[in-house]
Every structure is written in C-alpha cells, then in structure tokens.
Amino acid sequence: MDRRGFLASGAALALSPRFSFSRENPARLRLATSRQSLVGAAHPATQVWAYNGAVPGPVLRYRQGERLRIEVENALDADTTVHWHGVRLPNAMDGVPHLTQAPIAAKGGRFTYEFDLPDAGTFWYHPHLGSPEQVGRGLYGALIVEERAPPQVDRDLVWVLADWRLDREARLVEGFGNAMDASHAGRIGNTVTVNGAIRESFTVRAGERIRLRLINASNARIYAPTFEGHEPRIIALDGHPLVAHRDASLVLGPGMRADLLLDCAAQPGSTHRVIDGFYRQRAYELMKLQYASEKPLRQAFAPVPRLPPNPVPEPELSSAQRHRIVFGGGMMGALPAQSRQRGLFWTVNGAAVPEHEHQHSPILNLRRGQSYVLELVNETAWHHPIHLHGHAFRLGAAGAWADSVLLDPKSRAEVAFVADNPGDWMLHCHVLEHQATGMMAVVRVA
C-alpha cells in the first residue's frame, strides 16, 4: 500500500488534544459535510461527512449506569440513522432504518436517542443506512462507558482506526459499494488514519501505563497491530472484560474493539514501531511510539488490574437451544437465481437480503429469557466479522464476551447467549459492502 506516500514530513504528533477527554458530552450530534486534513499539510484537505464537524465524531464519555441523551440533526443530503454499536439498549433506540425507526430525513431531519448504559466498555456509533458510503466518508465516533471504579492508569486513550481510499489529491475515490468491492473483500483503502489523521509518531513517557482503546471503524480492513518491544495485554474485547493476558495475536475485524493495557517499559528517548501485519506481504507501520527523554515515571508496574464483569446474563448451556446459521456467496459462491443481477452477492441461510428492505422477516424467532447456541458457518472464501445487535454473547461455550466474531474463510464458530432483549435485532457481516449486498438478517426476540 502506498500510505507512506502521504505521510507529512517529520511533524511528530505529541499528545494532541484529541487524545485527551472531558466528560462534557454534546447534547447534539449534527451531520454535515466538512473538510479535514487526513494526510498532512502537504496535501489538500479531504471532503468528508462528519458528526459535529470532525472525523471521528466527538468521543462520548459516560459512566456505567448513566443515561445517554443525544439529539441527532441531519444536515446531509442523505437520510441516515445512528446505531450505538455494542450497547444493550431498548430496540427502539437501535438505529436500524425501517426495522426500529424511520430514517432521519436528509436536510434537517431530527431524532433523539435516549437510553441507559448498562455495560462499561468501549463502544462506538455510526450510521446504519447507506453504510458503505456513510461510514466510508467519515461518520463514526467512540462511545466510552467508564467503570464505576476504573482501573488506575496514567492515560486512557482512544484510537479510532479508519481506512480511506484516496487519490493523489487526497480526494475520496467514489464508487462506494461497487460490485467489485462488494463481491470480494469489501472496500479496502490505501490510507489508514488514527483519530482522523495519519500519525508519524505518538509520544509516550517511560514508566507510564496506558489504557488504549482500539476501535476498528473501517468498512472492510482487518487489523493485527503489534507493538515492537512491548507486550500490551488485552483487557477487554468489544467492551467486555477479559481475564488479563498477553496475546501477540490481536485481530480486529471491522466493528470490533479491544482495550489494551500498554506498559511503557522501554528506555527514555527510544523509538518503537507499531506494525499492522494482518495482510501478509502488506505489513506497514501504523506509527511510531516515541519515548520522551524524561526519566521514567516508575520503575516497576503494578499487576494488571482486573476489570469488573458487566451484568450480562450467563447462558445455560444444558438447556440451550441450538441453531445453525450459514453464511454463503461471494465470488465463485452459490447464490439464489437473479441475485448478482440485483447486486446481491452474499447470503444468510441461503437468502440474500438487500440493505434495509422494508419488510425483514426474521430468520430466527427466539424466546425471551431462553439460552441459545448459534453455530455460525462461513462457507465462503472470505473473512466475515459477524455482529449481533442488542446482546453480548460468549465466544464458544465459556469464552470471552463479545458482540462480534470474525469468521475466517471456510470456518465456523459457536456463540452462546441469553435472548433477554425483546425486539428485532440485526445479525450481519460488518464488512459494510457485504452487509449492503445480502449478508444481513433479523433475529426476533419475543
């Protein structure tokens, strides 16, 4: 990839104000076009779509148990909705057009979202209408819910990872959702930004402990970040606490999040690369960790803190009902008649459903309060991050809690959960070009 070609020369990005936070959340999110310098001053700014004028939109910070109330005002030329990814909220607040609400109309439509935040963790918000284009143009932001007693760290940071397809003038390449992208791996770009700009370096201090919240807001790109000379521990996945452990193999599909505990144990003045190596042969440097020259803040680190579990009901495996859901299609995959002509390339249990058809009939009817094990089968030759709305599930029988699972090509996974949240919920691939061309379904809990 030719991302290096866009790097602004030299300018080390120190602790930019975007990395700091206040808990004064905006009462309003306004969608409009904006211009932003994604690739540095040597190139023109890029025309983007933004919440409150910036990409990513504002970091919303609440404390667990608080209530979010935000009025959305849509000044774009396109209808939209806001989905609060990963939050176990009432169905009517889920932001799925035609299923849970009417679209928020172009040129002035408004809608107020209001709901409680039961779980602490790293979540995010984005449109659920025309997603390949709307997310691809910059509509997303972090939603952070702090624990009632957060673990002691020196800094709590959010990195929103986004992927852009830009031309030489740093303009977005059009053709969102084209058939070529949609029938293959999705729209993978040529420029990766962290919090809305490419970063040359990120300054840390020796001895500091950082909680780093990674959010993959990209349409289709998968990340496998490693920190040279460091062993960050994954302490949460998709917002939910994990038993702290070292893990070299963090893989973040679109929509997924990970909270890392990064102990900065290297020497003052030293430099370390952060490498994203998910695509073999196409590893690149995301940025450098640049240690300031100050003497270390501390010599030894406290043990890794344990985050308190979220109040997610535990599935009862002995009585769980099982269902099998098969994801199919793609280039060379089998498809129902006429699908390709209709621009549909993917299926869930044999059916290809266009993005937000007015009538979705559920592929599963789940009984409220009942435990379920879903066997998710990927029959295709492609990766699919499968995301369920309104719930968290265990990966495997007793694995980590999450709201997404990345299915490798020709693989399967099981997830277990209690269907405790009534309503119609999306189950879909978070490669947005796949979602928009058939790989989405509805699960009804009643």
Query: Given the rule CB under 5 A, which residues bind Cu ion?
Result: 384, 429, 431, 434
Distance CA 354, CA 346 (A): 10
- Spatial strand order of the sheet with 121-126 comes to 60-63, 141-146, 121-126, 83-85
C-alpha distances in angstroms, 371 versus 88, 100, 390?
16, 24, 15
Residue 434 contact among Cu ion, ligand C2O, none, beta carbon within 5 to 8 Å by kind: Cu ion
DSSP element (H, E) containing 249:
none
Residues 6+ apart with CB under 8 A from 217: 56, 124, 126, 135, 140, 160, 161, 162, 254
Residue 125 CB: number of other CB atoms within 10 A? 28
CB of 166 to ligand C2O, least distance (A): 23
CB of 328 to ligand C2O, least distance (A): 20
Considering the complex, state which of residue 314 and residue 357 has its C-beta at the smaller distance from ligand C2O: 357
* DSSP per-residue string spanning 282-350: --EEEEEEEE-SSPPS-SSPPPPPPPPPP-PPPP-GGG-EEEEEEEEESTTS---TTTTTTT--EEETT
Distance CA 260, CA 279 (A): 21
DSSP element (H, E) containing 432:
helix 432-435
C-alpha distances in angstroms, 137 versus 29, 108, 163, 166?
16, 19, 10, 11
Considering the complex, state which of residue 99 and residue 234 has its C-beta at the smaller distance from ligand C2O: 99
Residue 255 contact among Cu ion, ligand C2O, none, beta carbon within 5 to 8 Å by kind: ligand C2O
Residue 128 contact among ligand C2O, Cu ion, none, beta carbon within 5 to 8 Å by kind: ligand C2O
* Phi then psi dihedrals of residue 286, to 5 deg: -75, -45
CB of 330 to Cu ion, least distance (A): 8
Considering the complex, state which of residue 199 and residue 384 has its C-beta at the smaller distance from Cu ion: 384
Considering the complex, state which of residue 39 and residue 89 has its C-beta at the smaller distance from ligand C2O: 89
Residue 187 contact among Cu ion, ligand C2O, none, beta carbon within 5 to 8 Å by kind: none
Q: Which residue is nearest to ligand C2O (CB)?
A: 85
CB of 127 to ligand C2O, least distance (A): 9
Residue 389 contact among Cu ion, ligand C2O, none, beta carbon within 5 to 8 Å by kind: ligand C2O
Residue 387 contact among ligand C2O, Cu ion, none, beta carbon within 5 to 8 Å by kind: ligand C2O
Considering the complex, state which of residue 209 and residue 430 has its C-beta at the smaller distance from ligand C2O: 430
Joined together, the tokens standing for residue 353 give 């459903």
CB of 431 to ligand C2O, least distance (A): 11
CB of 282 to Cu ion, least distance (A): 19
CB of 435 to ligand C2O, least distance (A): 7
Considering the complex, state which of residue 126 and residue 240 has its C-beta at the smaller distance from ligand C2O: 126
Q: Which residues bind ligand C2O (CB under 6 A)?
A: 83, 85, 126, 128, 255, 387, 389, 426, 428, 430
CB of 161 to Cu ion, least distance (A): 18
Residue 431 contact among ligand C2O, Cu ion, none, beta carbon within 5 to 8 Å by kind: Cu ion
Three-state DSSP state, 258: strand
Considering the complex, state which of residue 140 and residue 227 has its C-beta at the smaller distance from ligand C2O: 140
Distance CA 192, CA 190 (A): 7
Considering the complex, state which of residue 34 and residue 378 has its C-beta at the smaller distance from Cu ion: 378
* Phi then psi dihedrals of residue 432, to 5 deg: -65, -30
CB of 126 to ligand C2O, least distance (A): 6
- Smallest CA-to-CA distance from 375 within 316, 314, 430, 322 is with 322
Residue 130 contact among ligand C2O, Cu ion, none, beta carbon within 5 to 8 Å by kind: none
Considering the complex, state which of residue 196 and residue 254 has its C-beta at the smaller distance from ligand C2O: 254
Distance CA 347, CA 333 (A): 10
Residue 426 contact among Cu ion, ligand C2O, none, beta carbon within 5 to 8 Å by kind: ligand C2O
Distance CA 328, CA 439 (A): 8
Residues 6+ apart with CB under 8 A from 171: 44, 46, 47
